[in-house]
Amino acid sequence: MKNETIAALSTAPFKAAIGVIRVSGEEALKVVGKIFSRDLCEVASSSVIHGNIVDGNETVDDVLVSVFRAPRSFTGEDIVEISCHGGVYNCSRILRLLIKNGARQAKNGEFTKRAFLNGKLDLLKAEAIIDLIDSETKAEARAAVSRMKGSLSDKINSIRDGLINISAQLLAFIDYPDEDIVDTDPETLREQITCSYSQIEKLLKSYDSGRLIREGVKTVIAGKPNVGKSMLMNRILGEDRCIVTSVAGTTRDVIEASAELGGVKLRLFDTAGVRDADDEVEKIGVEKTLGKIGEAELILCVFDVSDSELFDDEELSAAIMASDAKKIAVFNKTDIATAPNMTDEELSKFNVKVNISAKTGDGMDLLEKEIANIFPLGYEGEESVMLSNVRQYECLVAAQNELSHAL
């Protein structure tokens, strides 16, 4: 790997003012030097040089070249970054010239992989970089930056150091039982192990919040046909993603999208209205709706306040009540009718009730507030420590299981 010099476009492959091509490896300076109008061999690290990319006698582009010498670079290798004019053809041509002159196309994530293998960052920080790139909300990005800066790594290393210290004490006692080298009082060791166990337990409890920040809350918008589910979806998204008509049964398939509401990332599913349908396609849509309700973490149960029979669909009600998801009763169309009062029995089926008009936007601030109250993600800034994926969770569960055996 170290003998290969890799190159890739670091910016999006679209029409743009600037494009950045990154080159990393032992021959990075040499490879770029073959197509650059100025000599890079004696250029100091962290320098920016102006010049031209050339192909023989032809000038390809007017660029800035940034040089980062090993080991003081992202990958720990020599890195050269070419800031050229953006555009699919221009960036592609420069990349082809680099490959022609000794580099190879980098694989997905290979720069970060090299940084990890060269000890420039640990696996937790590498995962945080991917999370930051994939982030879609403010909370998601802030949590990723916190992990990228080492909040989770520092916590894990602290637990690891404590366990190494306990292990050292036990090994010293086993090897030198007659020597008064360390205090190996069983109760003291038990307290130290219990402390490590508790620290892991605290991290494990953060997983649900971390996962929801990263992946989003599975949110199903459910209700009878023509209650305004698709209009609510569009209102949350801020765009006309779903077709809205006055014809009942317009939505026949599940439509998925992501949005942020109340600081919470929602994975939204607009579903077909549930009713006894004769149309085969609509029947399939209803089956999909009932399936999504069973998978949901939050159900927005939409009711049309102008409908005199709000709660008359037994199949839909049974599916919603059987779900372990949080449930919000969303009384829609308050711009044309008044929301009815709910009995205590009806209210007990939902976490909260909200009156809105998806058409005008009235009440959306209350819906946003209630979602934030139901899902307090517990993110408290850059120093907040959270797990974010299954791998991290499973590793800590395995460690905790071993400690439980020791106790």
Q: Looking at residues 157-177, what average pLDDT do you find?
A: 88
Express each pLDDT in 254-265 by its tens digit: 788 888 888 889
| R_g (Cα) of the chain, nearest Å | 29
Top-confidence residue, 128 or 277:
128
CATH topology of domain 213-374: Rossmann fold (3.40.50)
**What is the model's pLDDT at position 341?**
73
DSSP, residue by residue, 315-335: HHHHHHHH--SEEEEEEE-TT
* Residue 58, phi then psi, degrees to nearest 5: -95, 130
Question: Which one of 1.20.120.430, 3.40.50.150, 1.10.443.10, 3.90.76.10 gives the CATH number of domain 126-206?
Answer: 1.20.120.430
For residue 95, give every residue at least 6 positions away whose Cβ sits within 8 Å of its Cβ, in sequence order, or none.
7, 8, 9, 21, 105
Query: What residue ranges do the domains of the chain occupy?
Result: 6-120, 126-206, 213-374
pTM over 0.75: yes
Express each pLDDT in 386-401 by its tens digit: 998 999 999 999 999 9
Q: Looking at residues 293-304, what average pLDDT do you find?
A: 90
Token pair 């959306």: residue = 364
Given a cut of 60, whether residue 381 has pLDDT beyond it is no
The confidence band for 382, taking pLDDT boundaries of 50, 70 and 90, is low
Over the chain, what is the mean pLDDT?
A: 87
CATH topology of domain 6-120: Gyrase A; domain 2 (3.30.1360)
Given a cut of 80, whether residue 332 has pLDDT beyond it is yes
